[in-house]
Every structure is written in structure tokens, then in C-alpha cells.
Structure 1
Amino acid sequence: MTSPVATLPGSCNPPSPAAATPAIVLRRLGRAEYEPTWQAMQAFTAGRDAATPDELWLVEHPPVFTLGQAGKAEHLLRDVGIATVKIDRGGQVTYHGPGQVVIYTLIDLHRRGLKVRELVSRIEQAVIDLLAELGIAARREDGAPGVYVDIPGAVLGPMGAKIAALGLRIRNGCSYHGVSLNVAMDLAPFAAINPCGYEGLAVTQTSDLGVSLSPPEVAEALARHLVAQLERGGRSTPDL
């Protein structure tokens, strides 16, 4: 997934030691079609330089399946009338739809001193911390990026139920794509795929776990936790 650090204009070259890290910018896109948003992420990443502020894009998508760059079509189990888009993030297949919070993390890893694995861990931790705040115990699973929960009384596999999915692309030291958290959506389309490539993996959402917050409210809260994780050790606050 990673690419060498380029030295051409527009790449995310490491800033000078004296350069201040700009505040993270939050962009609230509302409901937006998937492909134009993906293309906008690519363009943003290609055009940024060492002075470009990092951004978090808060968005909700109409129904769409996305299949990662090494994704296998066999994980699409049946046609339910929802388009599939082959994209350039890591991972297998997932579903995006109304009622799901999606936050794209457009981050200069060099400037923040992050490796890819640490960025993934911080994104997961932001979700785990948010869910803890909402009274839901959540965890990571080794080798399976995302966030998982147990459901009392439910018969689940060893990983439990997935509540948040994560996939990134790193280009010239900068990330795009990000994290999706199921809030108050129709979960039925997940039955048409092997979520994230795992046969029989259960999925759940905050509204089914006793949380009454709306998707926009959850998005704002998750953005706050993401900023806290990304600014850990930093000096700035988000540009709201």
C-alpha cells in the first residue's frame, strides 16, 4: 500500500523541523455519491504539499459496495441491485449506505511522525474510545483491521460482530480513504457479501446497541476522537 517518498512538487515531503503542523480541517460533505468523493480524495492527495493542512471529510454515501485493490469478486455473494466500485484502498469488500458514518482521513504521515500501522491503530482507537463513551465495549482483532463488539445473547463467531471498517491508501507518504462506522442503517446488504472478506462475519450498529444518537451526531463525536488521536503530542486544534 505504501509508496516511496517523492521529491517532486505536490508530494508530501517532510517539512523542515521548524515548520508548525497546521490545524486539522473538518469538511462536512453531507450525502455524496461515492465515486466523485473518491476522485476528489485522489486529487487532494496528488495536489497537496508539505504546507497543506490535513483534513477529515465527514460524509454519508448512497448504497454502494466497494472492493479493495486486491479484492476478490468471490466475496460478492449475490446481486442485490447495488453497484460495486473497484477502488484503490486496501482490504476486500464492504458496504456503504445511508445511516453509516464515513470519515476520510487525509493525513500527512511524515509530518505527524506516523507509520502506517500506527495510523491504523490510532483510527481504531478513536472508534473504540467513542464507543466506550457511548457505553459500548469494543476491541481490535489481530490481523483484521476495524473494530468489533460482542452482542449479549447473540451467537457469533470468534471475532464477534464488526461495527466499524477501515481501509487506507498511502501515496507519497499521505493517506486517503478512512473509516466507516455503522450507526442507523439498513444492514441487509451486508448479507450479500463476505464483509471485509470474512465468511459469515456478523455486523452490527450503534442504534441496535442502545445508542440513540443520529449519524450526524456520531460523526461529530468520532471526528473529535480522531482529532485527539491524530494530534496526540501535537499542538493544534481542528479548524471547525
Structure 2
Amino acid sequence: MRTFTAARDADTPDELWVCEHPATFTQGIAGKTEHLLNPGAIPVVQTERGGQVTFHGPGQIVAYPLIDLRRLNIFVKEYVFRLEAALIQTLERFGVTGFRVAGAPGIYVRPDEPGAHAAHTGPVDPSQPFKGLAKVAALGIKVSRHCSFHGLALNVNVDLEPYRRINPCGYAGLETTSLDNLGLRVETAAVADVLVDRLVAQLSS
């Protein structure tokens, strides 16, 4: 990603890379070591993306949009909004309602009512900002010369145990979940196809 982004020019076509990683913790550029509670044998990789520590592993879709934001005539805030919109639309295709939480990039669900459509009104207790929610998708991006790299991760049937070894995204006690954990038995490839379709739609115009 670094090489591609450093070498691209105004005529370089955008790309979208989609993959699964072996079990890995990644730490954002401003990541704090205290959020790594007990990584054990899982390697910790330092990255230049934003955000704190998160986990990647098999059964999780990782998407890296390599996008020239100038072509879309958008800035970082709008770019993040579109990535989150693609995730929300993907979850909706599988009957799950995704929510944004102000100041905490990524997409969240209600584990007790994953298909509920009532609007999430936000936290009522500042000491419990994620009460009633669990994170199903993480965002961590980097923009260099108006071009994006790094991206997002959506949990389909990933092992959730490693999340207990960290403070996910820097939030102690933040619950994480997956589509499998919500009761959906879907193939990772099928979800990836929908996510790619939604990302392309969000980032093409």
C-alpha cells in the first residue's frame, strides 16, 4: 500500500484490495501500549494508520480502498462517512442494523436486537458510551497526498477471543462481535461480494 500510494500520480487508477489476514494485532500511529493487555503469541504490527489497536484474523474481511480523494472531490470526513455507509448497507443486506457512534469510527450493532431498526439515540451515561452496543466493523485509515490507504475490517466469523487481549480501538471493555456471533451463518466470500459492491458504489462518484 505504501509503495502503491507513493508511486501513484494523477492518472493512476484507484484500486480496492480485499483480503483476510492471519491472526495479527495492528497498532495505529498514536497507539498506546497500555491497550495491549496480553497479546501472547499473536504478533503486534506497528502501522501508520489512525486509531489504536485492533485485531485481524481469518473470518474477517479486510478492505483497503486505495482512492484518490481529489477525483471524488471529497475530504477525509466525507470519505470516512462513505466507508461507514458501505458497511451499514452491507449489514442491512443480511438483516443487521448498523449504527455509528459519534467520535468512535466504525460500525456498531445491538447484540440483543441485531435487526432492530429504531434509531440509536446515543449514550445516556458518559461513563458507558457503548452500553447496549458491540463493534462489528473497525476503521483505520491513512491519507497521503490526498490518497487513501489502510481501510476497514468487518467481522463475519472471526475468532473473537483475541479481542479480550486488548482494549479494542483503545476502549476498555468495548464488546466486539461478528455476524456469526449474532446468529447469522453466512460465508465470508458472500459478505465480501456485497461489501465490495457497496464500497465501489460509495467511492465511484
TM-score between both structures, scaled by the size of structure 2: 0.90
Q: Is 2:181 aligned against 1:208? A: yes
Q: Aligned AA for 1:53?
A: P
Are the aligned partners of 1:80 and 1:189 in contact in 2 as well (CA < 8 Å)?
no
Which residues of 2 match residues 73-88 of structure 1 at below 5 A?
A: 73-88=33-48
Where does residue 113 of structure 1 map in the other structure? 73
Which residues of 2 match residues 1-240 of structure 1 at below 5 A?
A: 41-152=1-112, 157-158=130-131, 160-231=133-204, 234=205
| Distance in 2 between residues matched to 1:159 and 1:94, nearest whole Å | 20
RMSD: 1.5
Q: Aligned AA for 1:74?
A: E
| Distance in 2 between residues matched to 1:163 and 1:149, nearest whole Å | 7
| Distance in 1 between residues matched to 2:162 and 2:26, nearest whole Å | 12
Q: Deviations over 1:72-111 (max 9, x none)?
A: 0000001321010111000000000011000001000011
Cα displacement (A) at 1:210 = 2.8
| Distance in 2 between residues matched to 1:199 and 1:178, nearest whole Å | 22
SS in 2 for 1:226: helix
| Distance in 1 between residues matched to 2:110 and 2:94, nearest whole Å | 15
Q: Deviations over 1:185-234 (max 9, x none)?
A: 11100000000000000000011223222112111110100111112xx3
Identity over the aligned pairs, expressed in percent? 51
Where does residue 17 of structure 1 map in the other structure? none
| Distance in 1 between residues matched to 2:79 and 2:166, nearest whole Å | 27
Are the aligned partners of 2:90 and 2:195 in contact in 1 as well (CA < 8 Å)?
yes
Are the aligned partners of 2:82 and 2:202 in contact in 1 as well (CA < 8 Å)?
yes
Cα displacement (A) at 1:159 = 6.3
Are the aligned partners of 1:77 and 1:194 in contact in 2 as well (CA < 8 Å)?
yes
Larger Rg computed on CA atoms: 1
Are residues 81 and 132 of structure 1, via their aligned partners in 2, closer, same or farther at CA, if it must alter by over 3 Å? same
SS in 1 for 2:61: strand
| Distance in 2 between residues matched to 1:171 and 1:223, nearest whole Å | 23
Q: Aligned AA for 1:131?
A: L
Are the aligned partners of 2:25 and 2:42 in contact in 1 as well (CA < 8 Å)?
yes
TM-score between both structures, scaled by the size of structure 1: 0.77
| Distance in 2 between residues matched to 1:133 and 1:192, nearest whole Å | 31
Cα displacement (A) at 1:153 = 7.5
| Distance in 2 between residues matched to 1:78 and 1:206, nearest whole Å | 25
SS in 2 for 1:178: strand
SS in 1 for 2:70: helix
Q: Aligned AA for 1:100?
A: Q
| Distance in 1 between residues matched to 2:111 and 2:81, nearest whole Å | 23
